[in-house]
Chains A and B, each alone.
Chain A
Amino acid sequence: EADIYQTPRYLVIGTGKKITLECSQTMGHDKMYWYQQDPGMELHLIHYSYGVNSTEKGDLSSESTVSRIRTEHFPLTLESARPSHTSQYLCASTSSSGANVLTFGAGSRLTVL
């Protein structure tokens, strides 16, 4: 049973709209991540956070922004969606201890027309 939740699962939206992808986890994890997954399957890290009020950009440049006001919540926002933003967005979290196993949400598939 997943303890990390993403909404919406699917979103089809027109160019220029503002969208927010929600991600919440109930495991008390301090570290959270957003990955963008290409149609060809490869995952790219676009944002991460090591705790409240801490956010960093990942390896892949993204026009999206994130915030971390509460430990359990890590939303991703696109101010003006474009067709190039069409992708699968995966949220993940982990604790700071042990093997740092990432727990993933089910993903949000965004299509921008």
Chain B
Amino acid sequence: GEDVEQSLFLSVREGDSSVINCTYTDSSSTYLYWYKQEPGAGLQLLTYIFSNMDMKQDQRLTVLLNKKDKHLSLRIADTQTGDSAIYFCAERKTGANNLFFGTGTRLTVIP
């Protein structure tokens, strides 16, 4: 497909793990990113992964990259109410200097 795709909504209970999935478009994209947007705010970079990596872990965040399937996921361990936000994946396509964003996944954490 031509669009970066994400599920629109995800609800999890506090303390559980959240997994947000993304399918991107360009198998030769060099970098893939996860951004978080809280209500009324801009986008904040959470993490990014270079395309030659399969996994990246940063505290409660784990990013998995499957280049063959063009699939990116973000796992948040021990999800907290403060994690409630919209999460965007983005890719930097080959030869492009801007990022292409997914539709965003609204994560709701239930106390």
Q: Does B99 contact A (CB under 8 A)?
A: yes
Q: Which residues on B sit within 8 Å (CB–CB) of A106?
A: 40-42
A interface size (C-beta, 8 A): 25
Q: How many A-B residue pairs have CB under 8 A?
A: 55
As a 0/1 sequence over residues 19 to 53 of chain A, the CB contacts with chain B under 8 angstroms (1 = contact) are 00000000000010101000011110100101000
By the criterion CB–CB under 8 Å, are A100 and B97 in contact? yes
By the criterion CB–CB under 8 Å, are A101 and B97 in contact? no
Q: Given A33-B98, A100-B97, A104-B42, check contact A42 B104 (CB 8 Å).
A: yes
By the criterion CB–CB under 8 Å, are B48 and A90 in contact? no
By the criterion CB–CB under 8 Å, are B104 and A41 in contact? yes
By the criterion CB–CB under 8 Å, are A41 and B45 in contact? no
Could you tell me the distance in whole angstroms from the C-beta of A27 to the nearest C-beta in chain B? 13
B interface size (C-beta, 8 A): 23
Report the bound CA distance from A6 to B43 in whole Å.
Answer: 13
By the criterion CB–CB under 8 Å, are A43 and B101 in contact? yes
Binding site for B on A (CB under 8 A): 2, 6, 31, 33, 35, 40-43, 45, 48, 50, 58, 90, 92, 99-107, 109
A-B contact pairs, 17 of them (CB 8 A): A6-B42, A41-B86, A41-B104, A42-B104, A43-B43, A43-B88, A90-B42, A90-B43, A100-B99, A101-B33, A101-B48, A104-B43, A105-B42, A106-B40, A106-B42, A107-B41, A107-B42
